[in-house]
C-alpha cells in the first residue's frame, strides 16, 4: 500500500528513524514511539528497528517492550511484525512475558515463514536471557553459545559489533579476511563517482543510482545468514532495498545465486535482481522495480 504521507515528509521521517537508531541515545525512545503512529510501513519498520538498537544503550526496557510486543504480534504489515519481533528479542529477559505469544506465532500456519522463524528465534533468545539473568550470566557467544568474559565481549564488540568467544573470534576473523581479500582483488572497474566495482554490469548500476541521486553502499557489509556468507552488491539505505547483479553463468554460480535469493526471501529482505540480459533496458527495469517499492524516479534519464 502506498503511504498517504507526502514524499518529502516520508523521506524526512525515514531519515529521522535511521538517525535515531544510529544515535545510541536511549532518550530517543519517546520520539521513536511517536513516529510509529505515522501512516507508513517503512517508517514503522525502521522505527521499531531503531527501538531495538537502543536496547543495548539502556533505553527503558519496560516502555520499549510495551510498545514492541503488540506490533510484534499484530502489526498489519508482516515486515513490521518481523522487525518488531527482532527488536523485542534485543530486550531479552525484559520481554519474558511475551515468550508464549511468540511461540504461538511461530506455530501459526497462516503466518509468513520469515515472521515465524523470527518469532521462534526470539522466544528462544528471550528464554535463554531470562535463565542467564537468573544465573548471573551476562553474555554468550553469538556463534557457539558459550559464556563469554567481559574481555571477550569488549574485543568482539569493537571489531564485529557482535559478541564472540575468543575461539569464534579468531575463526570469524580469518574467514572474513580471506573473503574480503578475494573481493578486493576482484574490484578493478571504476564508476564515475570513484567506487571500485567487480564488473561492468555493477558499474552501470552504480552510475544509474548516482544519476538518480539514490544513496547506496556498495559491497559494504559482510554478514552471515544461517552460515551462508552474504555480501550484498548494493544496499539502498533510504529504501531498505538490496540490488544484486548476477553476472556469471556457471552452474556453481547459479546454485549459489539461487541459495542467496532464497535466503533474502526467507529473511523478508527486498531484493532486486539484475542479470546481464537486463543491461540494455536497465533504466526502465530499475525504475519499474524501484517504483513498486515506493521510489519515484525523475522523468529525466541521465543514466548511461
Residue number, 137 or 144, with CB nearest to Zn ion? 144
Q: Tell me the closest approach of the beta carbon of residue 140 to Zn ion, in angstroms.
A: 8
Cβ neighbours, 10 Å, residue 257: 16
Q: Which residues of 8-34 are buried (b: 16+ CB within 10 A; e: fewer)?
A: eebeebbebbbebbeeeeeebbeebbe
Which contiguous run of DSSP H or E holds residue 196?
strand 196-197
Pick from 274, 296, 289, 265: nearest CA to 115: 265
Q: Find where cell 564472540 sits.
A: 164
Residue number, 163 or 297, with CB nearest to Zn ion? 163
Residue number, 5 or 146, with CB nearest to Zn ion? 146
Q: Establish how many alpha carbons lie within 13 A of residue 13's alpha carbon, considering only the half-sphere containing its beta carbon.
A: 24
Using CB under 5 A, list all residues that contact Zn ion.
141, 143-144, 146, 165, 168
Q: Tell me the closest approach of the beta carbon of residue 148 to Zn ion, in angstroms.
A: 8
Residue number, 222 or 295, with CB nearest to Zn ion? 222
Angle between helix 99-107 and 113-135 (nearest 10): 150
Q: Tell me the closest approach of the beta carbon of residue 143 to Zn ion, in angstroms.
A: 5
Residue number, 77 or 155, with CB nearest to Zn ion? 155
Q: Find where cell 559489533 sits.
A: 161
Q: Tell me the closest approach of the beta carbon of residue 174 to Zn ion, in angstroms.
A: 14
Q: Tell me the closest approach of the beta carbon of residue 169 to Zn ion, in angstroms.
A: 8
Amino acid at each position: 500500500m502506498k503511504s498517504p504521507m507526502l514524499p518529502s515528509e516520508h523521506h524526512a521521517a525515514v531519515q529521522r528513524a535511521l538517525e535515531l537508531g544510529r544515535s545510541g541515545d536511549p532518550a530517543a525512545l519517546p520520539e521513536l514511539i511517536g513516529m510509529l503512529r505515522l501512516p507508513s510501513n517503512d517508517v514503522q519498520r525502521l522505527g521499531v528497528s531503531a527501538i531495538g538498537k537502543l536496547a543495548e544503550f539502556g533505553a527503558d526496557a519496560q516502555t520499549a517492550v510495551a510498545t514492541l510486543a503488540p506490533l510484534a504480534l499484530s502489526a498489519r504489515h508482516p515486515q513490521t511484525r518481523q522487525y518488531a519481533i527482532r527488536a523485542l528479542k534485543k530486550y531479552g529477559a525484559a520481554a519474558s512475558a511475551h515468550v508464549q505469544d511468540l511461540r504461538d506465532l511461530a506455530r501459526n500456519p497462516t503466518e509468513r515463514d520469515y515472521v515465524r522463524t523470527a518469532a521462534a528465534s526470539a522466544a528462544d533468545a528471550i528464554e535463554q536471557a531470562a535463565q542467564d539473568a537468573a544465573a548471573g550470566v551476562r553474555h554468550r557467544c553469538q556463534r557457539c553459545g558459550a559464556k563469554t568474559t567481559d574481555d571477550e565481549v569488549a574485543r568482539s564488540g569493537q571489531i564485529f559489533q557482535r559478541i564472540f568467544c575468543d575461539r569464534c573470534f579468531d575463526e570469524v576473523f580469518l574467514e572474513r579476511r580471506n573473503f574480503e581479500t578475494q573481493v578486493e582483488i576482484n574490484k578493478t572497474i571504476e564508476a564515475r563517482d570513484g567506487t571500485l566495482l567487480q564488473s561492468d554490469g555493477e558499474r552501470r548500476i552504480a552510475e544509474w543510482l548516482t544519476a538518480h541521486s539514490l544513496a547506496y553502499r556498495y559491497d559494504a557489509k559482510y554478514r552471515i545468514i544461517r552460515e551462508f556468507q552474504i555480501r550484498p552488491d548494493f544496499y539502498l539505505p533510504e529504501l531498505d532495498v538490496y540490488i544484486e547483479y548476477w553476472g556469471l553463468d556457471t552452474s556453481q554460480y547459479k546454485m549459489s545465486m539461487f541459495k542467496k535469493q532464497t535466503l533474502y526471501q526467507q529473511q523478508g529482505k527486498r531484493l532486486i535482481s539484475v542479470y546481464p540480459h537486463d543491461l540494455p533496458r536497465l533504466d526502465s527495469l530499475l525504475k519499474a522495480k524501484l517504483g513498486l517499492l515506493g521510489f519515484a524516479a525523475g522523468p529525466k534519464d541521465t543514466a548511461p
